[in-house]
Amino acid sequence: MALAKRIIPCLDCDKGRVVKGVKFLDIRDAGDPVEISKRYSDAGADEITFLDITASSEGRETTVHTVEAIASQVFIPLTVGGGIRTLEDIRTMLNAGADKVSINTAAVFNPEFVREAAERFGSQCIVVAMDAKKVSAAGEPNRWEIFTHGGRKATGIDAVEWAKRMVNYGAGEILLTSMDRDGTKSGFDLALNKAVSESVSVPIIASGGVGNLQDLVDGVLLGQADAVLAASIFHFGEFSIPQAKRYMADKGITMRL
């Protein structure tokens, strides 16, 4: 009897449509986040993360409706991230049916926001997303920094220290993305993940770089992740969620099968 490690598919959405070309072989309308969330939930996804990349405010209205629609039909935890900047944004998403919100840039610009959010809504629904990039030179001890703007802007903030601080402020979970690995399909940055996981008490979701099922296993066993987030390997139908869970279970990881 043990807590299962989680597999979390991530949907990047723009104006209520899934982008990054999600392709299920057997659905015609591949861009509908409600349909896709249902598919993943039926396939055994342990949670869904919905990342809103919509820029306009009208578009964000659509996002709220999409979250409502997902929450009416999908009965596993739903995290909504992207553009969460105010307590009002959090309230709107929780009222729409999100179980957690993920705060990224707003935490960097105003760390107190995380504290206020956790105090008001409880740590259980506050995920801090951090985008980290390795800044140490070869031969030096590993060091990672927090980056913003999709990995383009350095902040000078040490990633491990940042994670500790965010947990002190009340983050209930850390979504840790390696900007070096994101989109490369070369596996998670395991050293980064392990360093952060060992330094904080809360669960870590590893993200960025999954190319195959062994990467998921390594994320848990070597990177000490409590959950693994992946988009493209599932979206393109390369691997299914049941296949991934079975593979991980065969390697000795406790999964919900």
- The contact set with other proteins (CB under 8 A) reads 1-6, 41, 46, 68, 71-73, 75-77, 94-99, 119, 121-125, 172-173, 201-203, 226-227, 256
Shortest CB 186 distance to other proteins, Å = 27
In this structure, are residues 103 and 127 in contact, taking their beta carbons and an 8 Å threshold?
yes
- Among the listed residues 14, 46, 89, 131, the single catalytic one is 131
131 is known as an active-site residue = yes
CA 214 from centre of chain? 19
Smallest separation, CB 250 to other proteins (Å): 18
Q: Rounded to the nearest whole angstrom, what is the least distance from the CB of residue 120 to other proteins in the complex? A: 8
Give the angle subtended at the CA of 215 by the CAs of 213 and 217, to the nearest 5°.
Answer: 75
Question: Given the complex with other proteins, which of 175 and 179 has the nearer CB atom?
Answer: 175
In angstroms, the CA 198 to CA 217 distance is 18
Cβ count near 140 (within 10 Å): 8
Rounded Cα distance, 88 and 86, in Å: 5
Q: Which amino acid is at 130?
A: M
Q: Which C-beta is closer to other proteins: that of 112 or that of 140? A: 112
Cβ distance to other proteins smaller for residue 73 or 136 = 73
26 is known as an active-site residue: no
Give the active site residues. 12, 131
